[in-house]
Structure 1
Amino acid sequence: MTTIEPVRKDIQRQGHIKKYSASLRLWHWANTIVISGSLLTVLINSTITDERPVSALVKNELKNASAMVSDEQAGSVAHALGDRVWSIHIYFGYVLVGLLLFRLALEFFQLADQKFIRKMKSAYRQFQSTKKERELVKHELTVKAIYAVFYILLLVMAVTGLFLAFEDLLAPFKSIRHSVKEVHGFCMYLILAFIFVHLAGVFLAERKDNKGIVSDMINGGGDHQ
């Protein structure tokens, strides 16, 4: 489990802790809110607004009110409720795409020592060349690799989500809709796994030598140890 704990130390500058720019912190917390909201809509539509129980509920409630409706009519109401929730899910998806583009832009405009790709390359070079604190560098490289996979998952989620949102405009590719939907759903489960691993890692880090990671992501970090 230690390999999933975020590292608070700056491996490029001994005696310092990592700095997080205001832009990166804004992206991190906004992304947290949007992904949580998106997953919540999926949970609601698979439980509270699931078509079968909602159809039965609508039919029974109207029957108690002396109004009779057919199964098809009740199903239409349930389907409409589900569509409302999915429309919110789509809006969250648009925001997620915007945040992903914002994060990609940060790689060009961030300070050089805070760029993700630069940090990952630096960790790899240090792992290859140094024997001192090799475990710390290996740890940092592993965490960065996990984050890289997360960014790739976000990209796949964004692309497949846009395909599903604009499927009417992409009629020539309708034959692959089911496959795209399957990939989109599978990536959602992988992102859920990442969230669990990330939270577990932060929890473990806060209980050990890297206490203060959460506050660093709020106030920017960068203080001397």
Structure 2
Amino acid sequence: MSVIEPVKRNIDNPYQIKTYSSSLRLWHWLNAIVITGSLLTVLINSTILDDRSSAAFMKDELQKAGSVVTDKQAGSVAHAMSDNVWGIHIYFGYALVTLLVFRLVLEFFQLADQKFIRKIKGAYKDYYIIKKQRELARHELVVKTIYAIFYLLLIIMAITGLFLAFEDFFAPYKSIRHSVKDIHGFCMYIILGFIAIHLAGVYLAERKDSKGIVSDMINGGGE
């Protein structure tokens, strides 16, 4: 069993399929949409709307059309277009923060057997203390640990993103802006790695003994 494959059956009762609340499923898919949108804005600004390359492209095209454009003018237009995309990125960031708060609050209202903290504690207890269903427990513990790291990364992304979005408010801490931006960008790359691992794990699970795990996250699972 691959350690990155999510499992659709409970540790305590391997014959029972896991269930997911409607609130958790809503969070999962909205979070996927928001993260995808946020990453797309970064991709667009780092490729198509890169200030230097897009300014050169606009200058060449306008000159071909008979307009006289300076490097400074083309650069200003390119930078304005890039800023518009970053504005969209900021709104995705606000949505991500909102969803993160929603997820943290949701943890307190989830059914006991669906709480993330309880699941990771249960997997730890089954593997290290009770030593029951050790292979399944070890696998669940690894998967849940990866998810815990993902949640931590989202928290760091949210904090650093808010710092950058409201940098004027945090003017006294302007000296650390560059470091905060680096941390924000570094976390983004790790999240990209998590997404790749998650998609690979779901793909493998669907092809093996956890077939239907995607539909479970849509319809709620259970039997």
**TM-score, structure 2 length as denominator?**
0.98
Instruction: Give the corresponding residue for 1:8.
Output: 8
Q: Distance in 1 between matches of 2:45 and 2:189?
A: 16
Figure out how many residues of one structure are paired with residues of the other and give that number: 223
Q: Distance in 2 between matches of 1:124 and 1:163?
A: 35
Bigger mean CA deviation after superposition, 122-131 or 136-145: 122-131
Instruction: Give the corresponding residue for 1:37.
Output: 37
Bigger mean CA deviation after superposition, 92-101 or 6-15: 6-15
Instruction: Give the corresponding residue for 1:123.
Output: 123
Per chain length, whose mean CA-contact separation is higher, i.e. which structure has more relative contact order (CA < 8 Å, sep 6+)?
1
* Offset from partner CA, 1:33-68 (integer Å, 9 cap, x none): 000000000000001001112111211122122211
Bigger mean CA deviation after superposition, 110-119 or 129-138: 129-138
Instruction: Give the corresponding residue for 2:53.
Output: 53
Q: Distance in 1 between matches of 2:130 and 2:167?
A: 51
- Give percent identity, aligned residues only: 70
* Offset from partner CA, 1:150-200 (integer Å, 9 cap, x none): 000000000000000000111000000000000000000000000000001
Give the conservation status (yes or no) of the 8 Å contact 2:41–2:86: yes
CA RMSD of aligned residues (A): 1.0
Q: Distance in 1 between matches of 2:68 and 2:216?
A: 59
What are the ranges of 5 or more consecutive residues in structure 1 without an aligned counterpart?
none
Q: Distance in 2 between matches of 1:80 and 1:179?
A: 25
Instruction: Give the corresponding residue for 1:195.
Output: 195
Task: Verify: 1:24 aligned to 2:24, yes or no.
Answer: yes
Task: Verify: 1:69 aligned to 2:61, yes or no.
Answer: no
Instruction: Give the corresponding residue for 1:161.
Output: 161
Q: Distance in 1 between matches of 2:4 and 2:14?
A: 22
Q: Distance in 1 between matches of 2:173 and 2:131?
A: 52
Give the conservation status (yes or no) of the 8 Å contact 2:202–2:213: yes
After the TM superposition, which parts of structure 1 deviate over 4 Å for at least 4 consecutive aligned residues?
Answer: none
**TM-score, structure 1 length as denominator?**
0.97
Q: Distance in 1 between matches of 2:122 and 2:131?
A: 15
* Offset from partner CA, 1:76-107 (integer Å, 9 cap, x none): 00000000000000000000000000000011
Q: Distance in 2 between matches of 1:15 and 1:163?
A: 47
Give the conservation status (yes or no) of the 8 Å contact 2:126–2:133: no
Task: Verify: 1:103 aligned to 2:103, yes or no.
Answer: yes
